[in-house]
Chains A and B, each alone.
Chain A
Amino acid sequence: QQPVQSPQAVILREGEDAVINCSSSKALYSVHWYRQKHGEAPVFLMILLKGGEQKGHDKISASFNEKKQQSSLYLTASQLSYSGTYFCGDFGNEKLTFGTGTRLTIIP
Chain B
Amino acid sequence: DTGVSQDPRHKITKRGQNVTFRCDPISEHNRLYWYRQTLGQGPEFLTYFQNEAQLEKSRLLSDRFSAERPKGSFSTLEIQRTEQGDSAMYLCASSPRTPEETQYFGPGTRLLVL
Contact = CB atoms under 8 A, between A and B. Distances in A.
Interface string A79-106: 0000000010101011111111100000
Nearest to B46: A95
Nearest to A87: B42
Nearest to A29: B101
A99 B42 contact: yes
Interface residues of A, number: 23
Interface size class for chain B?
A: 20 to 34
A41 B44 contact: no
B23 to A, nearest CB: 12
B48 A95 contact: yes
A46 to B, nearest CB: 9
B56 A101 contact: no
A40 B43 CA distance: 12
Contacts of A91: 101
B100 A41 contact: no
A49 B101 CA distance: 10
Given A41-B107, A41-B108, A42-B105, A49 B42 contact: no
Contact of A98 (B43, B102, B108): B43
B107 A40 contact: yes
Interface of B: 33, 35, 40-45, 48, 55-56, 91, 99-108
Contacts of A41: 91, 105-108
22 contacts: A2-B42, A30-B100, A32-B103, A40-B107, A41-B91, A41-B105, A41-B108, A42-B105, A44-B104, A44-B105, A49-B100, A87-B42, A87-B43, A94-B55, A96-B33, A96-B35, A96-B43, A97-B45, A98-B42, A98-B44, A99-B42, A101-B41
A73 interface: no
B43 A94 contact: no
B45 A49 contact: no
A28 interface: no
Nearest to B99: A49
Contacts of B103: 32, 44, 96
